Amino acid sequence: MSRPQPVLPLALSPWLEALACPLCRQPLRLEERTLRCPGRHSFDLARAGYASLLTGARATSGDDDDMARARDSFLATGAYEGLREALCELAPGAARRILDIGGGTGYYLSGLLDHLPAAQGMVVDTSVRALRFAARAHERAAAAAWDVFSPFPLRDGTVDLVLDVFAPRNPAEFARVLAPGGHLLVIRPAADHLAELRALVPGMVGLDPHKEERLHTSLDPLFSTEERRETRFPLTLSARSARDLVAMTPSARHVDEASLQGILAGTVTISVVASLHRRR
């Protein structure tokens, strides 16, 4: 009787040759539902369809279950479609392997894969709940758990585009995994992003006034900036969507339940900066 063939999520297959053991950097191979390296390190594929490549101490998750559900609920309304369109307009059309850092539920990567039908993508996050959403976000979107502040479990030069939308950054690792001439696309909030909510809701996390300066200090030694765009528009929200918008951000950890439930329908300003950077 023949042995059953290994089961690998289809979207993860194109990434298998690019993966490296996060502990010893050797290639990974699939044995049933486990990724193994010659050094006998092993990493399981979750039933939900994502690969768990975390090592050592558990990484701090960006989203807990409630935040991930709020994110999925809010983005499903299409309220941030304008941001996804801006991302697609900036993305290089030649990108074939796209790494979405801190990609959460896979919303932005999914839109980009629709825009680039020859591309393959992978969402990286440490939130189990978010990765469950991401693993089914798009037929060409794989999902994996690893810590953005640790060395990435990828071989050098195996990625064409790194996507970073409202997410932490590790410029040295971005540059290492990008192929020569590869790109980094960063989207971050501008100074007046969600200004109306921040004025009304006590405890919402403020924006760093030196964000742009810090970004360029970290990126400029490794990347050259090719394009920068600002996207700004008013967004009318229901009370439910407004609460989800707050609950899906880091502010959720600082806003009490009474303040969250007190948020009413209204109009807020969406204001972000998107920039495209080429690996030097």
What confidence tens digit (pLDDT) does each residue in 45-86 have? Answer: 999 999 999 987 665 556 889 999 999 999 999 999 999 999
Residue 1 binned pLDDT confidence (cut-offs 50, 70, 90): very low
- Whose CA is closest to 107, among 66, 145, 79? 79
- Would you say 165 and 134 are in contact if contact means Cβ atoms under 8 Å apart? no
What confidence tens digit (pLDDT) does each residue in 239-279 have? Answer: 999 999 999 988 888 898 888 888 999 999 999 999 999 99
Q: How far is CA 119 from the centre of its chain?
A: 16
The C-alpha atoms of residue 140 and residue 216 are separated, in whole angstroms, by 32
What's the rounded mean pLDDT across residues 221-244?
96
State the residue for tokens 């479609």: 81
- Give how far Cα 3 sits from Cα of 6, 30, 135, 148, 149, Å: 9, 14, 27, 37, 39
Query: Half-sphere exposure (CA, 13 Å, Cβ side) for 280?
Result: 9
What confidence tens digit (pLDDT) does each residue in 91-134 have? Answer: 999 999 999 999 999 999 999 999 999 999 999 999 999 999 99
All structural domains of the chain with their residue ranges: 10-279
pTM above 0.95, yes or no: no
Hey, what are 194's tokens?
Answer: 């969600």
Query: End-to-end distance of the chain based on CA atoms, in angstroms?
Result: 53
Q: Tell me the fold of 10-279.
A: Rossmann fold (3.40.50)
Which amino acid appears at position 74 of this protein? F
Q: What is the pLDDT of residue 165?
A: 97
The C-alpha atoms of residue 176 and residue 172 are separated, in whole angstroms, by 6
What confidence tens digit (pLDDT) does each residue in 158-184 have? Answer: 999 999 999 999 999 999 999 999 999
Residue 4 binned pLDDT confidence (cut-offs 50, 70, 90): very low
Q: What is the pLDDT of residue 250?
A: 87
